[in-house]
Amino acid sequence: MREVDVSEVTALVSRLYQEANFNLPPDVVAALESALELEESLLGREVLETLLKNAEIAARERVPLCQDTGLAAVFVEVGQEVCFTGGPFRQAVDAGVAKAWQDGYLRASVVSSPCHDRANTGDNTPAMLHTELVAGETVRITVLPKGAGSENMSRLAMLKPAEGIAGLVDFVVETVEKAGGNPCPPIFLGVGVGGTMDRAAVLSKLALLRPAASPNPDERLARLELEIRDSVNALGIGPGGFGGSITCLGVALEEYPCHIASLPVAVNIQCNSARRATGSI
């Protein structure tokens, strides 16, 4: 048994949420640089250069990469030997989000009652918290600030098993085509296949935690990821949506067992500002 005071959770969430907003992950920078080599459109290349320069300015000036500093999607792997002390875990996570909002001059982008008042919660809480119990005595936290431009273009379908892989690819491509320039291309795609409706949606976001250019370890799924990426790039949407050969920087697909009658497919679009940061206690 290892005791962890929840104040450490607050401090780590705050640090990760700020760092994610100021520093584009190196694998995302590398993906943008690779795209710059491949992009056929001159204007498309200028957009990519702008994004790379933006990342430099954000890191140097400690100003957020994007004004939409996002909802705080927080993924926590809790080692089952850990015992939290000092207060409720959930409150500690939200306190970390609020502290990041205050200390990092992030934007308050959360409304409390979506149906009626839509009043701003004022400190960007609550977090979209996902916890998973794992073996060991470490607490591993990943913060993924998620902007609405790309989140609003995400979709889920309960396909018929007979629609198969062709139906799955068509659904993903159609999702990106409908999104056009809205989600700030070039985008990343997290695709969750299987489970129940909710499980597929969570999988699609978990897929976005995988570093860019790291294929699914299953060879067949890795090939499917490339097939989806190439099909999406054939749409010609391009950087900024102004037309071009690179619309998608990478596809990460995760699958999970599902019902004999189901083929759930969730597509979570991530914008070019694919921010995330991970740390451990």
Partner 1 sequence: MTTMPISLTAPLSLEKTRSLIAGDKVLITGTIYTARDAAHRRLIELIEKGGELPFELTGQIIYYVGPTPASPGRATGSAGPTTSSRVDRYTPQLLARGLRAVIGKGDRSPEVAAALQEHGAVYLAAVGGAGALLAERIRVAEVVAWPELGTEAIHRFEVSDFPAIVVMDAQGGNLYASGRKKYRQPR
Contacts with partner 1, residue ranges (CB under 8 A): 40-43, 47, 50-51, 53-55, 57-58, 61-69, 105-109, 120, 148-149, 152, 173, 180-182, 184, 231, 233-238, 240-245, 271-273
Report the run of H or E that residue 264 belongs to, with start and end. Answer: strand 263-270
Residue among 22 and 254 whose Cβ is closer to partner 1: 22
From the CB of 131, what's the least distance to partner 1, in Å? 28
Dist CA 266 CA 228 (whole Å) = 14
From the CB of 212, what's the least distance to partner 1, in Å? 15
> Which tokens is 154 given?
């995400």
- Rounded to a whole number of angstroms, the CA Rg of the chain reads 19
Residue among 197 and 234 whose Cβ is closer to partner 1: 234
From the CB of 60, what's the least distance to partner 1, in Å? 9
In the block, residue with structure tokens 């005595």: 137
Half-sphere exposure of residue 278, counting CA atoms within 13 Å on the CB side? 12
Residue among 165 and 197 whose Cβ is closer to partner 1: 165
DSSP class of residue 111 equals B
Dist CA 98 CA 123 (whole Å) = 5
124 in Cβ contact with 68 (< 8 Å): no
Report the run of H or E that residue 175 belongs to, with start and end. Answer: helix 164-179
> Please, where are the H alpha helices in 25-134?
26-38, 42-61, 89-103
Task: Say how many Å lie between the first and final Cα of the chain, rounded.
Answer: 14
Residue 13 contacts by C-beta under 8 Å, 6 or more apart in sequence? 72, 74, 92, 93, 95, 96, 97, 99, 100, 127, 141, 143
From the CB of 37, what's the least distance to partner 1, in Å? 16
From the CB of 248, what's the least distance to partner 1, in Å? 13
Residue 8 contacts by C-beta under 8 Å, 6 or more apart in sequence? 281
Query: Is the peptide bond preceding residue 186 cis, with omega within 30 degrees of 0?
Result: yes
From the CB of 147, what's the least distance to partner 1, in Å? 9
From the CB of 268, what's the least distance to partner 1, in Å? 17
From the CB of 209, what's the least distance to partner 1, in Å? 19
> Which tokens is 241 given?
């949506």
Burial class of residue 134 in the structure, from the number of CB atoms within 10 Å of its CB (0-12 exposed, 13-18 middle, 19+ buried): middle
